[in-house]
Structure 1
Amino acid sequence: MDDKVDNNHRRLLTLDAHLDTPVHFGRAGWDFGERHDPAVEVAQVDLGRMVEGSLDGGFFAIFTDQGPLTPEGYAAAREHALVRSQLIDTTLARHADRIGIATTAAEARRLDAAGKLVAFKSIENSYPLGDGAAAMAALAQFQRQGVRLVGIVHGKNNQFADSSTDKPTWNGLSPLGRDWVREMNRLGMVIDASHASDATVDQMLALSATPLLLSHSNSRTSYDHPRNIDDARIRRIAAGGGAICASTIYLSELTMGPQRAALFDRLEHIGTLAPLDQAALSREWLALDAVEPLWQTSFEQYIASLKHLIAVAGIDHVCMGADFDGGGGLAGLDNVAHLPRITERLKADGMSDADLAKLWSGNLLRVLEAAEKRASL
C-alpha cells in the first residue's frame, strides 16, 4: 500500500458501527490487547490489529441469540446480556491506557484527540429486556451502563418487532415495540434498524423523533435478500437524517452447511472453552474457510456495494459496519488490519478527504448526537 494513502487513512477518525468481538472477551488465555495471527485465530478484531489497520474504535455489541418469549427465557437472556456488558467493561479496563469507553460523540472525539482508541457499547437484539414495564426499566439500566445503540430485533421475531428473516407476527412493531421506540428517544439512544422487517422499519421511521441507523446492512440492489434493505427505504432513512453502515455480509449467498452451523454455535460459546479447544475451533473454522467460504463476495463487489449506498443515500448518510467477529469479512478484507485498503481504493477513485471523514465516523457520530439532543432524562 502506498505510504501516502496509508497516512491518509491514519489521519481519519475511523469507527465501525458493529463489532461482535465481545464474544471473545471471556476466553481463557486470550488477550484482547495482543495482535493475534489471523492464520491460526478465528477472532478478527484485537487491539494489535486495530492499531495496524487504524480502526480507531466502534460499537462493541452485546449480542443475545433469540430464545423463547417466556419469563424464564427473558430472565436467562437478561443475565447473559448483563454478564456480557460487564465483561466489556472489565476487558477494556485492563487496557485503559490504550482504549476508553465513550458514551457521547464528544467523548469519542476527546479520546481520539488524546491518542486512545474508542469503545462504544451496543445491544444486538432487544430480547433480553423482557416484557412489559420491566423491559423499559431494563433498557434504562443498560443506558446507565453505557449502551448507546440498540437493535430492536435479530434473526427471529421477538416481543418488540418482526425480523426481516422471519414470518410476520406483529406486522411490524408490537405495542411493546412502540413503547420501546419512545423510550429509546427519551433515553437518547440510537435505534438500530438492522435485522428489522420492512414494516418494522417503516413504523420506526414514522414514530421515532430521532434518525435511524442501520449498523450493518446493505442494499437489496447489490444483493437481493430480506436482510438487506431496498433503495426507497434507504432514501427515506437518509431523508430523516439517518445512515446505513456498509457491511461485508449478504453481498453473496450465505454458505451455511451443517458443519458451519455447528461451528457458529461453538463460537458463540467460545468463552466457555479451554484454550486447547479454542485453538481447535479456530483451526476447524479456518480450514472450512479454505474450502467452503461463508461468503463468495469479492473486494470489488464490496466496493461496488459501498458506492451504490453512497449514490442512493448520499455521502452524508453512509457509514461503516463490517460485522467483524459476527460472520463478516471477505477475501482481502478478512480482519480489521485490512481496512486501509478501503480508503486506498476510494481515494484512488477520487473521494475527497472530507467525504472519507464523513464515511468513516462523521455520519455515525452525527446520528449519535441527534439522539443525544432528544434525550429527556
Structure 2
Amino acid sequence: MDQMMTPFKSTTAGLVSVLALAACQTATSQEPVAEPDFMEQHQGLIILDTHLDTPANLVQPGFDIMERHDAALDYSQVDWPRMEEGGLDGGWWVLYTPQGPLDERSYQLTRDVAIMRAVAVREMVAANPDEFEMADTAADARRIANEGKKVVMMSIENSYPLGTDVSLLETFYNLGVRMVGPVHFRNNQFADSGTDIQQAYGGLSPLGEELVREANRLGMVLDGSHAADDVFDDLIELSGAPIILSHSGTSAIYMHPRNIDDERLRTLAEHGGVIQINALGSYLKQFPENPERDAAMRAMRAEFSTSPADMTEEEYEVYIARRNEVDAQFPPERADFEDFMEQLLHALRVIGPEHVGIGPDWDGGGGVIGLEDVSDYPAITQRLLDEGYSWDDIGNIMGGNSLRVLEAAESHAAELAAAATTE
C-alpha cells in the first residue's frame, strides 16, 4: 500500500508545483488591480444636503458663490470650491423668512422677500451654467450630479409667505421649490412651532391641512423640522407621501423642542420618511450661560441701523469685522464632531441607514468643531466606515434617502393626477 501511494503523492506534488508556477506567471504578467482610494469613493457618492441656507448669502453685498470663503472670517460655509473639496453635489437651497404678524400687509411683504430669494438662486444658476443646474425631479438630480455639476432645488422654511392663499405654493413650485416646511420658531397660520411658548392649534390648522394636500398634489416633500410634535403626528397621518425632517436631532441624546423622540423616529421610518441630522450646537448639547457675550452681541447689532442684506459692500465688511471682534473677545461655546456623531449614530441604531441622512444647517447656524463647512463631509464618511457601515449604506445616508423621499412624493402626485382624470 505504501509503495503504491508513493508515485501518486509524487505526481500530485508535481501537479501542485506546476499550477503554482502557472499562477505566479499569470499574476506577474498582469497589472495589479488597485482598489479605489477613500477620496475617490467618497467623491463618487451623490451627496445632497436637505437644508442649505446659502440663499441668505447670495443677497449679501460682494458675496460670490464661485470664490472660496473662510467660515472663520465671514461665517459662510457653502461655496463652489468647498463643495468640490467636500464632494457635496448640492441639494435643497432654502427660502427662509422669519415669522411676523399674521396680517395681509405682512404676508405680501414677506411673499416678495421669498420670491426675490428664489430669483437670487435662479440667478446664481444662470450666471454659472457649467457649475450649477436646476433639478425639477429626483431623476434630474441624479443626472446633474453624475455630470459633475451642482444640483439646485429649493425648499421653503416657514410657509408664512404664502399668507392664506395655499394656491401660491404652485408659484413657488414653478420657481423650483420641491420641499416645504409649514412653520419655523413661532406658531403661524399653518401650524404650531416646536419652540413657541404655547400651541395655537394642537397640530396643523385647517389651513395647514390644505397645505399638506396641495404639497401632495404638486409632488413636494413635506418637512417637519421646527414643527411641534402634534404637527409631526398630523403630517404623518395626512400626507400620502413620506415626510422628511430636513435638519433635526434626537431627543434621546439631547432633550430639546427641536429634536424628536425615538417613538416618533420609528413612526417616521415606518411611513418611509427620513431624518436629516443637523449640526447646530444648541440642538446637540446644553451650553453654559454667557451673559457677557450676549450683551456684546446686542450692542453690536445696535451699532448697525440696517440688516446685513441691505448694507453696501463696505458697510458689510465693517459689520463682519465688528462681529469678528466680538467673537475674539467673547468666544462662543461650541459643540464638536463627536456631539454631532452621537446624534447621527443614535438615529442610525434606532431606524437604520435607509431612514437617516445629513442636514447640518449650513449657513443657518450649523457647524461644529471638526465639521466647520461643506469641505468637511469626508470626515462623516470616514467615521461611518469606521463604525462598520458599508459604502451602500453611506450612499443612502448622504443622498439616496432624500432622493427616495422626493421620488415617493413625485409618484404620489402622479397617482393623484391619474385618479383625478378618471373621476
Paired AA for residue 270 in structure 2: A
Look up the match of 1:141: 171
Look up the match of 2:26: none
| Secondary structure of 2:72's aligned partner | coil
Deviation at 1:183, TM superposition (A): 0.9
Q: Which of residues 38, 49, 52 is equivalent to 1:16?
A: 49
**1:308 and 2:346 matched:** yes
Q: Which of residues 84, 88, 99 is equivalent to 1:55?
A: 88
Paired AA for residue 211 in structure 2: W
Paired AA for residue 244 in structure 2: L
Paired AA for residue 138 in structure 1: L
- Which range moves more in the overlay, 149-158 or 330-339? 330-339
Paired with 2:200 and 2:139, the residues of 1 have a C-alpha distance of 39
**1:236 and 2:274 matched:** no
- TM-score for both structures, normalised by structure 1: 0.93
Look up the match of 2:191: 161
Deviation at 1:8, TM superposition (A): 2.3
Q: Which of residues 132, 136, 150 is equivalent to 1:117?
A: 150
Give deviations 1:297-344, integer Å, cap 9, x for gaps. 121121111000111121100011000100100111111111111111
Look up the match of 1:93: 126
| Secondary structure of 2:250's aligned partner | coil
Residues 261 and 93 of structure 1, relative CA distance in 2, 3 Å threshold: farther
Residues 309 and 289 of structure 1, relative CA distance in 2, 3 Å threshold: farther
* Superposition map of 1:26-65 within 5 A: 26-65=59-98
Residues 197 and 46 of structure 1, relative CA distance in 2, 3 Å threshold: same
Aligned residues: 371
Paired AA for residue 221 in structure 2: V
Deviation at 1:281, TM superposition (A): 3.0
The percent of aligned pairs where both chains have the same amino acid is 43
Paired with 1:6 and 1:284, the residues of 2 have a C-alpha distance of 38
Paired with 1:219 and 1:136, the residues of 2 have a C-alpha distance of 31
* Superposition map of 1:338-349 within 5 A: 338-349=376-387
Residues 235 and 147 of structure 1, relative CA distance in 2, 3 Å threshold: same
**1:370 and 2:408 matched:** yes
Q: RMSD of the TM alignment (CA)?
A: 2.0
Paired with 1:294 and 1:230, the residues of 2 have a C-alpha distance of 28
Q: Which runs of 5+ in 2 are unaligned?
A: 1-35, 418-423
Paired AA for residue 158 in structure 1: N
Look up the match of 1:281: 319
Look up the match of 2:18: none
Look up the match of 2:247: 216
- Which range moves more in the overlay, 284-293 or 319-328? 284-293
| Secondary structure of 1:315's aligned partner | coil
Give deviations 1:90-147, integer Å, cap 9, x for gaps. 122111111111121100011112111111111100000011xxx2221111111110
**1:356 and 2:394 matched:** yes
Paired AA for residue 161 in structure 1: A
Q: Which runs of 5+ in 1 are unaligned?
A: none
- Which range moves more in the overlay, 251-260 or 107-116? 251-260
Paired AA for residue 158 in structure 2: N
Paired AA for residue 154 in structure 2: K
| Secondary structure of 1:296's aligned partner | coil
Greater relative contact order: 1 or 2 (C-alpha under 8 angstroms, separation 6 or more)? 1
Deviation at 1:259, TM superposition (A): 4.2
Please tell me whether the aligned partners of residues 42 and 286 of structure 1 are also in contact (alpha carbons under 8 angstroms). no
Q: Which of residues 233, 237, 249 is equivalent to 1:206?
A: 237
- Which range moves more in the overlay, 342-351 or 143-152? 342-351
- Which range moves more in the overlay, 23-32 or 293-302? 293-302
Please tell me whether the aligned partners of residues 23 and 270 of structure 1 are also in contact (alpha carbons under 8 angstroms). no
Paired with 2:154 and 2:402, the residues of 1 have a C-alpha distance of 14
Look up the match of 1:185: 216
Deviation at 1:261, TM superposition (A): 6.3
| Secondary structure of 1:10's aligned partner | helix
